[in-house]
Amino acid sequence: MKLRIGYDAKRIFHNRTGLGNFGRSLIRILVNEAPTNSYHLFNPKPAQIAFSIASTPVVEHLPDSWIWKKLSGVWRQGPIRKQINQEKIQLYHGLSGELPKGLEIPTIVSVHDLIFIKHPQLYSPIDVWIHKQKVKHAVGTATKIVAISQETKNDIVEYLGVDPAKIEVIYQGCDPQFSKILPQDQKQQVLEKYGLPSQFILNVGTLETRKNAKLLLQALKETTDAIVLVGKRTAYTEELEDYIQRNQMQDRVYLIHNIEFSELPALYQSAEIFCYPSFSEGFGIPILEALSSGTPVITTPGGCMQEAGGPHSVYINPLKPDELRAAVEQIQQDSSFRDQMIDRGKQHMTQFSDQVIAKQWLKLYKEILS
């Protein structure tokens, strides 16, 4: 059965990390595994990020009238349905917790996390209200809800009162470029570009309070370890910079804010250890990227981080720098333990392969349309 599937593609064309990576990865996987379907990407405004697949089944759609080009945010909330109908879309997939109003075809909504409900102090009150209204509408009207982790499914049931039977869990995949071992000279080029040493502890993720990068600085303050923090600047970044300055760590802490996605594998594969001491996540894709790259992972316990990290990553209390320092030292000093973490981590990653992810999505699409 050939399918015509529509997608809310705002993040695909406008978000460089997180939700954007999720959407781009999903479309890439589906096109590779099921090229006879046609995939229609509804984009509210001209792309800021180049995304194209050299394949006829992928079609981008922008607003088709001048008024909706001006009011693109309104367009994707409801008026978009006219173009969806014109394209004879059979199933519409909201990739980031939102669905247009008034659709009369089957729909799926992907929900990544409910952090704005669980930790509202991390957002402005107006953002919390807007996010709540959008996700409540989406989960209330969707034919099926897909959570990206069991933790997120549990949160949807608890905070939004949704019947668990309406929710599927399908994990996010990991771009295969992370598992391709790079030659040393290619890795060295990236290190030299950013002025990085040959050995370092790595953290990747938006530099915001929730992701808790300061714990890494506190844990390694009395060591000589180099630390590389990769992520978008936020107000929290100034707090990190102040801590670095006050503790005279400027010569061994490196902050990188605008790295190309294609350069990330070189950093992961060059890192001694990947540390991800986040308080709360929807899933934790950087954990998968590190494991795919053959880098041992230290992260925090409970819920989605353990789903991503598997049984052979190390889990520490996100409030205790001493635990993180002890975990780093154990991996550095025990080579057999480190090797076991790497080998078992790669075994764990088989459940996140393109083939597994595509099979789950295509099965769900067909079930809804049958």
pLDDT of res. 169:
96
Distances (CA, A) of 147 to 95, 117, 168, 228, 349: 11, 16, 6, 31, 19
Q: What pLDDT sits at residue 8?
A: 96
Q: How confident is the model at residue 15 (pLDDT cuts 50, 70, 90)?
A: confident
Average pLDDT over residues 284-301: 95
CA proximity to 315, closest of 268, 351, 289, 304: 304
Tens digits of residue pLDDT in 170-193: 998 888 899 999 999 999 999 999
CA 96 to chain centre: 11
What is the mean pLDDT of the segment spanning 191-214?
94
CB 285 within 8 A of CB 225: no
pLDDT of residue 54: 67
| Cα distances (angstroms) measured from residue 14 to each of 37, 84, 182 | 24, 20, 28
Residue 204 has pLDDT above 90, yes or no: yes
Residue 239 contacts residue 312 (beta carbons within 8 Å): no
The pTM of the full predicted model, rounded to 2 decimals, is 0.86
- Name the E strands within 234-320: 253-256, 273-276, 297-299, 314-315
3-class DSSP assignment, residue 151: helix
- Model confidence over 160-176: pLDDT tens digits? 999 999 999 999 888 88
**Position 273 confidence tier, pLDDT thresholds 50, 70, 90:** very high
Q: What is the average pLDDT score of the chain?
A: 93
Q: What's the whole-number mean pLDDT along residues 74-93?
A: 96
Residue 303 has pLDDT above 80, yes or no: no
Q: Is the pLDDT of residue 258 over 90?
A: no
pLDDT tens by residue, 36-74: 999 999 999 998 887 877 667 899 999 999 999 999 999
- Give the Å distances, CA to CA, from 135 to 11, 221, 342: 16, 41, 38
Overall average pLDDT of the 297-325 stretch: 93
Per-residue pLDDT at 30 exceeds 80 = yes
Q: What's the confidence (pLDDT) of residue 168? A: 96
- Amino acid identity of residue 94, one-letter, is G
How much is the pLDDT for 47? 86
Integer angstrom CA distances of residue 157 from 121, 257, 262:
21, 36, 37
Q: Which domains does the chain have, with CATH numbers?
A: 4-173+353-369 (3.40.50.2000), 176-351 (3.40.50.2000)
Q: Which two tokens stand for residue 24?
A: 């781009």
Name the residue type at position 350. Answer: T
Q: Are 123 and 116 in contact (CB under 8 A)?
A: yes
